[in-house]
Amino acid sequence: MKINKIAVLGAGTMGHGIAQLCAESGLEVNIFDISKDSLEKALESVKKNLSSLIDKGKITKEQADNTLSKISIKEELEKAIEDVELVIECVVENLEVKQKLYKKLDSLCDKSVILASNTSGLSPTEIAKDLQYPERMVVAHFWCPPELIPLVEVVPGEKTSDEVVDRTLEWVNQIGKKPVKMKKECLGFIGNRMQYALLREAIYIVEQGWADVEEVDKAVEYGFGRRLPTSGPIKSADLGGLDVFYSISSYLFKDLCDSKKPSSVMKEIVDNNNYGTKTGQGFYKWDKKTIHKAENDRRKLLLHFLNEDEKKK
């Protein structure tokens, strides 16, 4: 049974992107946020994204107008969840905040309504621990920017029903994304566990004085990063020869960073209130021009990948 109407709770980057995706696929979408200003910005962001797609010839103005007609802004939670079949939550990444919200949703929504979280790594079991119907709570973790990255990790909690997992997978397929089903939960799920393992080693190489920040990033951008879109790490090992990968693993694993704490270099940067593009300084220096170029370059490449995916269909 297809999902026809959803509520998106939280109108930030992830929220408005997911709302746009669903509306483009013909679903009715209610967006709720406690901030009226955030709701207005979300709608403007969707309009901007759609205008960009019109300019690139990806959609027509009629299609853009139809997408916008599917999105409704709601300033009351009770109004946002009326007659919906699925709620996707994109609020702050704080367990207590999410638990409080889901307990309220559990009391307001019919027990048939799927309660999904876009958490990047929090435990669905912990999020659902106070629910009367924990079997309907599931993680659907979209990646940023959600309108351009295909992946959605679908993660069950200990009490999530198979039916809810299956319906969530169908919904993700319905809106044109690529679902990855986890058998059971773990912190960080699949993507972030691997992403942070890479980040830990990347910063470790810099800490050891083996290479500068820019060179480490280039090694990924111009090296194995080019290969990963066609074959993940395990398939790459098969393609390269497991005997070779096993041999390298036997001596390299012992030398890799295995720290259980965040990088001391990153801690020093953060302690100095430097957060990257948010403040204009991180590992790199940033101004409006360099931020715009980096974001624009990334968006162009992600659109290219989307175009290639469309050709394969």
What is d(CA 248, CA 3) in angstroms, rounded to the nearest whole number? 47
Min mean pLDDT across 28-32, 129-133, 210-214, 301-305 is at 301-305
**Could you read off the pLDDT of 256-285 as tens digits, one per residue?**
999 999 999 999 999 999 999 999 999 999
Residue ranges covered by each domain of the chain: 5-181, 194-312
**Could you read off the pLDDT of 188-233 as tens digits, one per residue?**
999 999 999 999 999 999 999 999 999 999 999 999 999 998 899 9
Look up residue 131 and give its two tokens.
């629910």
Q: What is the pLDDT of residue 203?
A: 98
Q: What's the whole-number average pLDDT of the chain?
A: 95
Look up residue 281 and give its two tokens.
């300084």
The sign one gets for the Cα dihedral 98, 184, 148, 169 is negative
* pLDDT band, very low/low/confident/very high, at 1 (cuts 50, 70, 90): confident
What is d(CA 180, CA 138) in angstroms, rounded to the nearest whole number? 13
Domain 5-181 matches domain 194-312 at the CATH topology level: no
Report the amino acid identity of residue 69.
S
**Preceding peptide of 146 cis, ω within 30°:** no
- CATH number for the domain whose boundaries are 194-312: 1.10.1040.10
* pLDDT band, very low/low/confident/very high, at 89 (cuts 50, 70, 90): very high
Look up residue 104 and give its two tokens.
């309220």
Cβ neighbours of residue 126 closer than 8 Å, sequence gap 6 or more: 95, 99
Superfamily of domain 5-181: NAD(P)-binding Rossmann-like Domain (3.40.50.720)
Q: Which long-range contacts (CB under 8 A, 24 or more apart) does 256-259 make?
A: 256/201, 256/204, 257/200, 257/201, 257/204, 259/200, 259/204
* pLDDT band, very low/low/confident/very high, at 68 (cuts 50, 70, 90): very high
